């Protein structure tokens, strides 16, 4: 008998991520009706928006029909269309809850969300039971499955119909016991652009974690037509795209323009297709160059873009593509400083050589140190922050390039008065190379990232720390 009148709600279980869902069922003299999956209502009630792509139905003639215990490499929402079942779930994922068990009965008014790697089994309690499940990946013959014996002596599932009297397939009866099961490994994170400044900072942050893979351009060419089949993408939870074309001035040339659009837009489009298809979270790094700099306040994440040059145009286009991915973070930053050639290191070298440089004083912004950017990305992922765009730079008082140059000279024990302020126009006057237009104000509002619990470090202190550590590292080379 179906229970009518339940209120839609989710209940947690001892297995992390396994949720029991009470479903409203509406009945009258004709029968009953329910919404088995309703994205808006169910995500509001606490279910993950797991993106189902396939709906399966298993019809069972007899009471006592028993199937499982199967852990598949996808999430699913299991329920009953007709009849009633006893359901059993065992956590077969690698971790502290490996072997944890949960059981309950399901009729048409109750469903269970089963995360990837949790073993699923059921036994029918009525004849003519139709068991249904929505999954968020298409069935694949080469997918990795994990199984557990229905009669395992450790988990000790109390089947209503003793297994000796149940209808069981020969295959299900011979699955391994818990001490023989290889735990299901978590889905992996792939860092692209691993040989760049941010890629190296992410490698330093995550280290040799076996769940993290790093790919340089030689490992995975994002401009190749084979990106969609370059990996078993269903094994990945997150892609961090730290790869980009960043030669701002070269992007104004014919060849540079082509390469900028190929890397920053076409390749990102391929990644977006991969991420959307496989339910992968895509983390993408954006730039202050998507704005024209004509503002009297820091730029917020939702301000309209107005790029001045080719590089900014490609970054804005790439951002628009990434926003089509259901699970995405766009991390917008400015004036990036890390392990490699950059403005701060150039100023330090000029100071050491006793050069008196002319430095632009009419562009205002904040530095972003790559270790801080890596920490922010890891924080967004670990905290499960709402998807969307986040500004990430150092905090503190915005300064011009000339101000920063003077601070570099001062912190390294050199005379800051050797810096001469110039305008952007004066700096580029007479240049023989194509020079990209730059935003005069690159200050980004940091309030949104702060609401997630991440507090960017003060830029002045971060600069001093960077100069100290980079000097020590340079001395070791």
Q: Domains in the chain, ordered, with CATH?
A: 9-180 (2.60.120.10), 188-476 (3.40.50.720)
Q: Which residue has the tokens 């000796």?
A: 164
Q: What is the pLDDT of residue 477?
A: 41
- Given the residues 133, 289, 311, 466, the one annotated as active site: 133
Q: What is the pLDDT of residue 51?
A: 85
Query: Cβ(100)–Cβ(14) under 8 Å?
Result: yes
Task: Note if 133 is an active site residue.
Answer: yes
- Given the residues 70, 205, 327, 379, the one annotated as active site: 70
Question: Residue-wise pLDDT tens for the chain (477 aa)?
Answer: 788 888 999 999 999 999 999 999 999 889 999 999 999 999 999 999 888 999 999 999 999 999 999 999 999 999 999 999 999 999 999 999 999 999 999 999 999 999 999 999 999 999 999 999 999 888 877 778 999 999 999 999 999 999 999 999 999 999 999 999 999 999 999 999 999 999 999 999 999 888 999 998 888 887 777 888 888 888 899 999 999 999 999 999 999 999 999 999 999 999 999 999 888 999 999 999 999 999 989 999 999 999 999 999 999 999 999 999 999 999 999 999 999 889 999 999 999 999 999 999 999 999 999 999 999 999 999 999 999 999 999 999 999 999 999 999 999 999 999 999 999 998 887 665 668 999 999 999 999 999 999 999 999 999 999 999 876 545 444
> What are the structure tokens assigned to 186, written together?
């978590």
Q: What is the DSSP string of 347-373?
A: HHHHHHTT---EEE-S-EE--EEHHHH
Query: Cβ(118)–Cβ(93) under 8 Å?
Result: yes
Residue 270 parent element (H or E)? helix 267-278
Residue 70 parent element (H or E)? strand 66-71
| Distance separating alpha carbons of residues 366 and 48, to the nearest angstrom | 36
Q: What is the pLDDT of residue 430?
A: 62
Q: What is the DSSP string of 372-388?
A: HHHHHHHHHHHHTPPSE
Side-chain-side CA neighbours of 178 within 13 Å: the count stands at 20
């Amino acid at each position: 008998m179906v229970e009518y009148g339940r209120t839609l709600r989710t209940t947690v279980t001892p297995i992390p991520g396994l949720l029991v869902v009470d479903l409203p069922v509406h009945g009258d003299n004709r029968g009953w009706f329910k919404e088995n999956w309703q994205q808006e209502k169910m995500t509001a009630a606490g279910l993950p928006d797991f993106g189902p792509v396939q709906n399966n139905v298993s019809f069972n003639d007899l009471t006592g029909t028993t199937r499982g215990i199967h852990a598949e490499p996808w999430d699913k929402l299991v329920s009953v269309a007709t009849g009633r079942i006893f359901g059993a779930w065992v956590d077969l994922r690698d971790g502290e809850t490996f072997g944890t068990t949960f059981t309950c009965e399901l009729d048409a008014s109750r469903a269970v969300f089963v995360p990837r790697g949790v073993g699923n089994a059921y036994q029918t309690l009525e004849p003519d039971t139709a068991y249904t499940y929505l999954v968020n990946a298409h069935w694949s013959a080469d997918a990795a499955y994990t199984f557990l014996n229905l009669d395992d002596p450790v988990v000790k599932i109390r089947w209503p119909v003793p297994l000796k009297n149940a209808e069981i397939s020969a295959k299900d009866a011979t699955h391994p016991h818990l001490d023989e099961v290889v735990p299901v490994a978590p889905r992996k994170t792939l860092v692209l652009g691993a040989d760049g400044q941010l890629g190296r900072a992410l490698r330093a942050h995550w280290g040799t974690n076996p769940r993290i893979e790093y790919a340089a351009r030689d490992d995975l060419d994002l401009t190749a037509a084979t990106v969609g089949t370059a990996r078993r993408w269903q094994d990945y939870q997150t892609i961090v795209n730290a790869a980009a074309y960043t030669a701002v001035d070269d992007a104004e040339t014919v060849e540079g323009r082509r390469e900028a659009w190929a890397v920053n837009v076409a390749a990102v489009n391929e990644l977006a297709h991969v991420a959307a298809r496989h339910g992968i979270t895509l983390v993408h790094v954006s730039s202050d160059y998507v704005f024209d700099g004509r503002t009297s306040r820091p730029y917020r994440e939702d301000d309209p873009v107005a790029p001045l040059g080719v590089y900014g145009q490609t970054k804005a286009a790439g951002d628009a593509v990434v926003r089509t991915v259901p699970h995405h973070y766009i991390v917008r930053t400015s004036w990036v400083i890390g392990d490699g050639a950059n403005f701060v290191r150039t100023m330090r070298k000029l100071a050491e050589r006793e050069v008196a440089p002319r430095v632009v004083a009419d562009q205002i912004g904040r530095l972003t140190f790559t270790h801080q950017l890596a920490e922010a990305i890891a924080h967004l992922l670990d905290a499960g922050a709402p998807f969307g765009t986040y500004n990430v730079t150092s905090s503190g008082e915005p300064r011009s390039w000339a101000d920063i140059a003077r601070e570099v000279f001062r912190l390294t024990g050199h005379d800051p008065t050797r810096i001469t302020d110039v305008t952007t126009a004066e700096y580029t006057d007479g240049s023989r190379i194509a020079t990209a237009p730059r935003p005069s104000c690159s200050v980004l509002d940091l309030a949104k990232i702060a609401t997630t619990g991440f507090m960017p470090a003060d830029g002045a202190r971060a600069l001093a720390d960077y100069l100290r550590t980079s000097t020590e590292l340079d001395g070791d080379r």
